[in-house]
Amino acid sequence: MTPRDDSDANSNAHSNPWSDLDRPPLNAVALRRALVRDGGRGGLWSDVQVVARTGSTNSDLVALAVDGKAAEGAVLIAEEQDAGRGRLDRQWTAPARSGLFFSVLLKPTGVPVERWGWLPLLAGVAMATGLSRSAGVDTALKWPNDLLVTVEGQERKVGGILAERAGADTVVVGIGINVTLRADELPVPGAGSLALAGAVTTDRDTILRTVLRSLEQWFEKWRSVGGDPAASGLQDTYAAGCATLGREVRAELPGDKSITGEAVALDGDGRLVLATAEGVQQPVGAGDIVHLRPAGSTGSPGSE
């Protein structure tokens, strides 16, 4: 796998890996040694590459997959992204080496295509599990693809997930996690970071190894049962860690439509089920979810 690297040997101090001693570069050699086993045999991860800067790891890895230049289990990590994308092509930017910005290439062999929609939710469960183990931070899931932490009593978005098809049998999952982002660097008021949430460590090598191992475990378990969300335990685990369930929410749908109701369940297709004031249970498969403050609440507002 040969990803695009937009780093410039003559760039200024901001691009120097050691310009901020609180944000050392990732150790690509150590990551490959820890994650790639037996030349790619015996484990999911077949290749781990770190680039200094790129536009979007997802765009790069999708292009490599389409060209046949990336195999299943390829991991592409950027120390800095200048065109990172979230859902609805929203931009995801952060200072160099302040987070983990990476994409993985997965082949859900033996899983019916109609169950592939569980992959972003699976990645969310894997990230939450891995972050709890490595950073000691409780991470909640906001349906469908956001990672939330608590900073000074308020829900803050610490990460996001984007899954894209890259051929008939391939999905690229991109993940961004704010690790050491400082308060004065937050791009929007609702953002946060592991450091601001009181992480016991912000060592990105340690965190990345743990979340990738967690992702491998969940993916292999899910794939081994044909993507069945119940048999794999994915549906129950996601529901248990989902901050959206039990909340009054507004679902902003394509076409400038919206539905307001209580998020009461996650169905077998990974859709969020809303109970509306009209007594209708409405499944939502796509859209933005806004957590609304419960009536009479004096607590902090929900996460956008």
Provide the pLDDT for residue 1: 74
> Rounded to 10 degrees, what is the CA torsion of 191, 242, 210, 97?
-10
Provide the pLDDT for residue 189: 86
Provide the pLDDT for residue 228: 98
Residue ranges of the domains in the chain?
13-239, 245-291
How many residues make up the chain in this entry?
Answer: 304
Residue ranges, the chain, pLDDT below 70: 2-19, 38-41, 83-92, 293-304
User: CA 199, CA 138: separation in Å to the nearest integer?
Assistant: 9
Provide the pLDDT for residue 94: 81
Q: Yes or no: is domain 13-239 CATH 1.10.10.10?
A: no
Number of alpha carbons in the 13 Å side-chain half-sphere of residue 159: 34
Provide the pLDDT for residue 25: 97
Please write down the HEC assignment for all residues of 14-62.
HHCCCCCCCCCCCCHHHHHHHHCCHHHCCCCCCEEEEECCECCHHHHHH
User: Tell me, which fold does domain 245-291 have in CATH?
Assistant: SH3 type barrels. (2.30.30)
User: Same topology for domains 13-239 and 245-291, yes or no?
Assistant: no
> Rounded to 10 degrees, what is the CA torsion of 163, 148, 35, 4?
50
Contacts of 165 (CB under 8 A, 6+ apart): 171, 172
Task: Copy the structure tokens of residue 302.
Answer: 């929900």
Provide the pLDDT for residue 101: 97
Provide the pLDDT for residue 301: 35
User: CA 141, CA 123: separation in Å to the nearest integer?
Assistant: 10
pLDDT in tens, 264-303: 999 999 999 999 999 999 999 988 999 996 433 433 334 4
pLDDT in tens, 221-247: 999 999 999 999 999 999 999 999 999
Provide the pLDDT for residue 57: 96
Provide the pLDDT for residue 16: 63
Provide the pLDDT for residue 41: 61
Q: Contact 79/96 with Cβ under 8 angstroms?
A: yes
Provide the pLDDT for residue 296: 37
